[in-house]
Structure formats: C-alpha cells, structure tokens
Structure 1
C-alpha cells in the first residue's frame, strides 16, 4: 500500500454519499415480489378464515 502524500485522497475531494430513502428500497423488484407473495398468502388465509371456517 503506497502511503505517499500524492496518493492519499483528501476528504474534501470525495463526492458526497448518495442518500437513498425508503421509497428507493421499496422500488426494488425482489423486495416488491417478496411483499406481494406475503400479501397474497395473508389474503388467502383471511378469505379461508372468513368463508370456509
């Protein structure tokens, strides 16, 4: 690892980190697919309880 002053990066030169909120997380397809499967299972269980029991 080269530790010469020329190879170090100053903190002022780094770009600010991107802030990604909850809506970004919810827009991801695998998460939406998982939440859809859970919602369908809950809906099927609710219909089963209401109509068949």
Structure 2
C-alpha cells in the first residue's frame, strides 16, 4: 500500500503568451499572415 498523498496538480492559468510560444500555432499564424500579405500586395500592385 502506498501511504503517500496524491501529487497535487496545479492548474495555473496560462495566458496568450503561452499559446503563442507553441510552434504549430506560430507556423499556422505565419502561413496565414503570408497569405494575407501576398493578397494585399497583389491587390495594390497588379503586375
């Protein structure tokens, strides 16, 4: 038998900076920003 109390799980609130530190989210946001930038340049300068 294990007489030790269960480990406490700390549910600390994680804010926006934690979310932005995740690489998959940053790759997705960079991809979307690139698409927006390309469409803006295409609309401004029609070659």
**Fold shared, TM-score > 0.5 on shorter chain:** yes
Cα-to-partner distance string for 1:4-52 (whole Å, 9 max, x where unaligned): xx8xx6xxx7343122111100110000000000000000000000000
Give the unaligned 5+ runs of structure 1. 1-5
Q: Which has the higher contact order (CA 8 A, sep 6+)?
A: 2
Moved over 6 A (4+): none
Partner residue, 1:32: 26
Aligned residues: 43
Report the structure number with the largest CA radius of gyration: 1
Two-structure CA RMSD over aligned residues (Å): 2.1
Give the unaligned 5+ runs of structure 2. none
Q: What is the TM-score normalised by the length of structure 1? A: 0.67
